[in-house]
Structure 1
Amino acid sequence: MPLVGFGLWKVNKDTCAETVFNAIKSGYRLLDGAGDYGNEKQAGEGVKKAIEAGIVKREDLFITSKLWNTFHAKEHVAALARKQLADWGLDYFDLYLVHFPIALKYVDPSHRYPPEWFGDDGKVYLQNTPMIETWQAMEQVVDDGLAKNIGLSNCQGSLILDVFRYARYEPQVLQIEHHPYLTQEPLINLCKTLGIAVTAYSSFGPQSYVELGAHKGAASLLQHNLIAEIAHHKGKSASQILLRWATQRGLAVVPKSNNHKRLLQNLECTDFDLSPEEMKAISALNINLRLNDPADIDSRMAIFA
C-alpha cells in the first residue's frame, strides 16, 4: 500500500472522473473511496481513462473502498461489494474496510443509494448485527476474490482485539481520524503491536469540516503559527508539514485536492524529514479533538465513548 494516496471524500461527482484521472497522471497510485461518498462510478471512469491512456495498469493501482453501515448483515456484505465493484468497473478491491462499527437498518440500493445515516423520515434506525457476523462476511469477500485485503475503520482498541479473537483473516489496515489535534498514540501503538497498518484521514484537521459546519470552532491547522513556522523553515507548504508529520510516524495518508499544484505538493510530502523536536512540538498540539463522531448524530452511536 503506498504511503500517500488520494482521498475521494467530498470530491464532486461532476469533476470526480477528471480529478481521479489527473491524480493518477500526477503519480498517485492509492485511491481511497467508499460507497458513502457517492462518487465511485465517476472515480471508476477516471481509472478507466487512465488505464486506456496507458498511464497505468490495473495492478499498478491500490484501490480502497468501504462497506457502509446499512449493509452489515451477512446476506448484504458481498452483494454490496459486488455492486461497488460494478460501479468502479473493477474485478477486485485491493482493500475493503468496514466503514464504521455501527450496524444500521438495511436500505435497498434500488430505493436509495448511498443511504447515509438516516431512514426516509430522517431518523436513525439501528440494527442488531454483531461485528462477528459482519467480519465473517468480509472474510467471504476475500474468499470470493472480491477483495485482496480487508480491514476496519473508526474502531477503537477493544473492538479490534475482539475481532482478532475470531478472525480467520486478521484486519490488515485500520483507517482513523488523525491530525495534530487528535494524535491517538495508544491506538497507533496497539496497531503496531498487532501488525496492522494505519491510514490517517482528515490529516488537515478542521479544514475538512469547515464547509460542513462541523469544525467545532477549532483553529485551522493550516494557518497555525507552529505549522507555518516549520513550513517556512523547511521551505514547504503547511499541508506538506502536516502530511509529513503523519507519514514520519509510519501512517499512510489520503489527502484530496482539486488544485493541481497542491495535488502535486501533497504527493511530495515524503522527500524531507522533520526533526525529533519538530515532531514532538506538532504532537504537543493534541487536544483530543474528534471531528468525525457519530455520537454528534445520535448518542446511541457513541462508538468513541
Structure 2
Amino acid sequence: MRSKTLSTGYKMPMLGLGTVNFGEGKTYPALRAALTAGYRHIDCAMMYDNEAEIGQAIADAMKEEGIKRSELFITSKLWNSFHKPEDVRGALEKTLADLQLDYLDLYLMHWPVALKTGVKKPTSSEDYFSLEDVPLMDTWRALEECFDDGLANTIGVSNFSTQKLEDLIMEARVVPAVNQVELHPFLQQNDLRSYCLHNNIALTAYSPLGRGVPADLTDAQKQDVVLAHPVIEEIAEKHDATTSQVVLKWAIQNGVIVVPKSGNPERLAQNLAALVCDLDEHDMSRIAHLDKNHRFIPGDEYFLSGSPYTWESLWDEPRPE
C-alpha cells in the first residue's frame, strides 16, 4: 500500500480506517472485515469508547490471518480530559491495554482543549480548565516523554490550526509529525497544507468524504453534499469510479492521508481501490474550486459561554456568519 514517510522515519499508509461511531456490536466485525480486505492503518481514539473491541479484532486477525504487528499502523488519541501532564501516560497505557498492544505507531493530542477530569463533552464553563491551569505545552511535554519511552513511535496533534502549530513548534523538543484535521473538497485547508508541507508535518484528513448522502436529494441540495455534488459525480462517471473514490484520491494526490470510516465490505474494498484511481489536472482543478471553508465538525461545544476557547483561537478561517 502507498505510504508517506513521516519525520520520524516511519511509513504511514495513505489510506486507513476511521473507527468512530460504528454502533453497538458493529466495531469488531467492521475491523475484521477491514483487516481481511487489506487495511493495515487503523485510526482509533479513547473517546470513541471502542478500543477494547478494536484490540480484540486486531489480536484475532493476527492470530487467525497471520498478520504481523510490524505490518500494522495503529493510531490513537489523547482525550481532552487527560491533558494534565500527570494524566497523559496513564491514558496512553489504558489505550495500549485496551488495544492489546505494547506500543502505538502514532499518538495524537485529540484537540487543543483541556477539559476537567471525567468530562467527555462540556456542558458549562465549569467543565474547562483555564489556559493557565493546563498549558498546551505542558501536555505536549508529557507526550514527548511517552515518545522517549517507546510507548509511541511517533507523536502528533489533531485539530490544530496553523497558529496553534506555530506556537507549539516554537517550544517543542519533538516537532509533531502529524496533524489530523477535517479536510475534504468543501474544506480544503490550503494554508494549513502549505504550512505542514513546509514544516515536514504530515496531514491526515478525518471526515474526508464530508457527511453521508441523504435520500431524495434535490439538485439544489446536492450542492451542499460532497459525495453528491455534480462536479464530483461528473468526475466519477468520467473515470468509472465511485464519488467516494474520487474524493479520497483527490486528497491522496494532494499528499493528504485519509481515514474514511465504513463497516460495509463492499465499501471497504471500494475505498481501498481509490489508491489506483488517478485524477488528471483538470479534475483536480475542478475540485479545487469547490472549497468554501465549510466545517461539518466545527467544535461548537468548545465555545460555550465562559469557555476560554473561541472560534478565532481554534481555527484559521473566520467564523461563518
**TM-score normalised to structure 2 length:** 0.86
Determine the structure 2 residue equivalent to 1:76. 87
Determine the structure 2 residue equivalent to 1:201. 206
Q: Bigger shift: 139-148 or 177-186? A: 139-148
Whether the aligned pair in 1 keeps the contact of 2:141 and 2:172 (CA below 8 Å) is yes
Determine the structure 2 residue equivalent to 1:6. 17
SS at match of 1:56: coil
Q: Report the residue type matching 1:175 in the other structure.
A: Q
Query: In the alignment, does 2:220 pair up with 1:177?
Result: no
Give the counterpart of 1:22 among 29, 33, 40.
33
Distance 1:80 1:196 in 2: 24
SS at match of 1:232: helix
Determine the structure 2 residue equivalent to 1:292. 297
Unaligned regions of 5+ residues in structure 2, if any? 1-11, 216-220
Whether the aligned pair in 1 keeps the contact of 2:185 and 2:288 (CA below 8 Å) is yes
Distance 1:206 1:47 in 2: 27
Query: In the alignment, does 2:128 pair up with 1:123?
Result: no
Whether the aligned pair in 2 keeps the contact of 1:206 and 1:218 (CA below 8 Å) is no
SS at match of 2:157: strand
Determine the structure 1 residue equivalent to 2:251. 246
> 1:197-276 maps to which residues of 2 (within 5 A)?
197-207=202-212, 219-276=224-281
Determine the structure 1 residue equivalent to 2:5. none
> 1:155-194 maps to which residues of 2 (within 5 A)?
155-194=160-199
Deviation for aligned residue 1:22: 1.2
Deviation for aligned residue 1:297: 5.1
Distance 1:292 1:179 in 2: 12
- The CA RMSD over aligned residues, in Å, is 1.9
Distance 1:202 1:209 in 2: 16
Label 1:63 to 1:82 Cα distance change in 2 as closer, same or farther (>3 A): same
Distance 1:272 1:296 in 2: 38
Q: Report the residue type matching 1:153 in the other structure.
A: S
Cα deviations by residue, 1:3-36 (Å, 9 ceiling, x for unpaired): 0000001122412112111101100010001011
- Using the aligned pairs only, state the percent identity: 38
Q: Report the residue type matching 1:265 in the other structure.
A: Q
Q: Bigger shift: 96-105 or 293-302? A: 293-302
Q: Report the residue type matching 1:64 in the other structure.
A: T
Q: Bigger shift: 71-80 or 293-302? A: 293-302
Deviation for aligned residue 1:58: 1.0
SS at match of 1:207: coil
Distance 1:155 1:232 in 2: 35
Label 1:297 to 1:171 Cα distance change in 2 as closer, same or farther (>3 A): closer
Determine the structure 1 residue equivalent to 2:49. 38
Unaligned regions of 5+ residues in structure 1, if any? 108-114, 211-215
Cα deviations by residue, 1:178-229 (Å, 9 ceiling, x for unpaired): 011100100000000000011011111132999xxxxx99722111111111
Count of paired positions: 290
Label 1:140 to 1:168 Cα distance change in 2 as closer, same or farther (>3 A): same
SS at match of 1:170: coil
Q: Report the residue type matching 1:229 in the other structure.
A: E
Distance 2:237 2:181 in 1: 29
Cα deviations by residue, 1:88-147 (Å, 9 ceiling, x for unpaired): 11111100000000011112xxxxxxx4213xxx43511131111000000011122211
Q: Report the residue type matching 2:121 in the other structure.
A: W
Distance 1:10 1:179 in 2: 19
Whether the aligned pair in 2 keeps the contact of 1:5 and 1:253 (CA below 8 Å) is yes
Distance 2:189 2:239 in 1: 26
Distance 1:51 1:28 in 2: 13
Label 1:289 to 1:296 Cα distance change in 2 as closer, same or farther (>3 A): farther
Q: Report the residue type matching 1:261 in the other structure.
A: E
SS at match of 2:283: helix
